[in-house]
Chains A and B, each alone.
Chain A
């Protein structure tokens, strides 16, 4: 029952602690609508709770030194500069330097820019621009009671140990409701599937509701089409694909699962439907999503294959799990060393499983499905393998990619932000007293991390932008 276990202590590293008050939690109610007056009913946390650097106050996914890697601040600053440059010239980078972009996603998107980068990678940014006002319109409508009822029932059951979602009726839960409800209105024939909620919640941890909505739309329609449709055929097909790929990656694990008649949906449903957001330590979730949104579903397959290979790939390990239940138990309590950020990312990158492999197995599993179970009921649109394919399918205009910060920071260094690009650049040069001819204006970061020193970011961004146009990768942190 690893899932329901509360915090493994509050062992976040000293350097990454942030003390944030979560007073909202004092008005929490339980599943039956009773108010809590004391925190003792919430696993003994006090009202002044310490969150880790991701906002978790407990749960198995919290930050720990064992599970995450630390990037030196100067490397992070450089990366931020490079990412700002990419975001400012997104179409060019996509068209001509996609490989490098992929590499940078593999290295990890800087936390301060992750939300924006995800929105660009997923094509959610373009969708948002092309459908201005759409979210607002959906948001203002009342949803179908059939879906609204289930969504409301689920709100307090998504990342209950994350500060954003722990308070009943708090801003996180409200936004989650808005995003999920909007989706049911956007795709009434699909409605709401419970596994969409964690996906939306992860997005909401990084971006405002409207952006998260478009991110969700892209994931549901382009990255994982059919996953959340009635009948769950797509996820079952992917289970077959995973199992077929495993045969090559780890014949031993494959044989074991086959011997114990382990239908893939027994162990891969939550992994795939939630894109591992409820399985891995948080640092790894973020890295997996960085790559997933850039490269597509093959990353999800690779994570699954790596975990299966690591957990079931040797005779030694199999000796202790002679049975379906024991195997399930093993796969529910994956050894933390295999999920550790650095280890996992390396394994994912090195695993030779390509889009082509997946497509080939996809055809084979559809064929088998038709032979054994007849026609598929749900005709999902074809799957897009990553950011480049999505952009190629629906080419955006230059305007669609323009950055328009949603929050303008009124600080002495950030005045006149909302002017024309030219104006902004000029201001900047004056302020900095530098002759910097970067073609890329720097937009204010709409979602600054609390620890992010934004003035510093701006300066290095300008310098970095020049460098990165011609640079090779300097940092070797993976």
Chain B
């Protein structure tokens, strides 16, 4: 399907915080508690609409264990957005956010939009990290923040879409150089068509391959 823009996302955070479940909930609208552990990288894609424009999200889901950190770095390259996830029922996953953030800032482009996510909000009774703490951390580090539940799907759409909105706004403001693919953004055939009086999309521009 034709799209106006394509954004690359990565999902990062400690092991077991629910990264793969968030991705699956967003792309397939289902929760699967029984699944294989992520080793290396998994990915998914979905089309969303912002400001009347079709935007394709390509999402890379990474392994969370610390020993994989050295290779997770190569996934950051060319990402326009990152979801940094912790588990509200495990304080340690919140405590590790700083190192994740350092890593992300160091290995990605400086304009990358980072959304902080406190996942497993359905497990209120086991909560170890207050919502206010997440908010404060996000404020302090200039991130957007949301609490989500991959299980009930609460706020999952919003998390991915709000990140895209932020990226989209940055494009409108001219912050992102959309011609540089290293920023994690591609212009799709649809965009090319609307911006041009010539009809149709140029074959060479069809970077997405139309698969979603």
Contacts and interface: CB of A to CB of B under 8 A. Distances in A.
Contacts of B44: 1
Contact of A160 (B36, B126, B151): B36
A301 interface: no
Interface stretch (B25-33, B160-168, B191-199): B25-33
Given A4-B32, A321-B209, A158 B41 contact: no
Interface in A4-47: 4, 6, 28, 30-32, 41-43
A325 B122 CA distance: 33
A180 to B, nearest CB: 12
Interface residues of A, number: 53
Nearest to A32: B123
Contacts of B208: 323, 326
A24 to B, nearest CB: 14
B65 A236 contact: no
Nearest to B186: A323
Contacts of B66: 230
Contact of A3 (B21, B42, B63, B68): B42
A194 B15 contact: yes
B84 to A, nearest CB: 19
Interface residues of B, number: 45
A445 to B, nearest CB: 31
Given A194-B63, A194-B68, A228-B67, A322 B37 contact: no
B41 A266 contact: yes
A265 interface: yes
B108 interface: no
B65 A42 contact: no
A328 B74 contact: no
Contacts of B28: 1
B40 A4 contact: no
A194 B27 CA distance: 25
A333 B121 CA distance: 33
A253 B21 CA distance: 33
B136 interface: no
A67 B20 CA distance: 28
B74 A263 contact: yes
A322 B6 CA distance: 14
B41 A269 contact: yes
A332 interface: yes
27 contacts: A1-B23, A4-B24, A4-B32, A4-B35, A4-B36, A28-B34, A31-B21, A43-B32, A150-B65, A154-B16, A154-B37, A157-B35, A157-B37, A158-B37, A161-B34, A166-B34, A195-B39, A230-B66, A230-B67, A232-B68, A263-B74, A266-B75, A270-B41, A324-B78, A325-B43, A325-B45, A332-B43
Interface of A: 1, 3-4, 6, 28, 30-32, 41-43, 150, 153-154, 156-161, 166, 193-195, 197-198, 228-233, 235-236, 263, 265-267, 269-270, 273-274, 278, 320-326, 328-329, 332
Given A4-B42, A31-B33, 7 more contacts: A1-B27, A4-B24, A31-B16, A150-B65, A194-B67, A231-B67, A263-B74
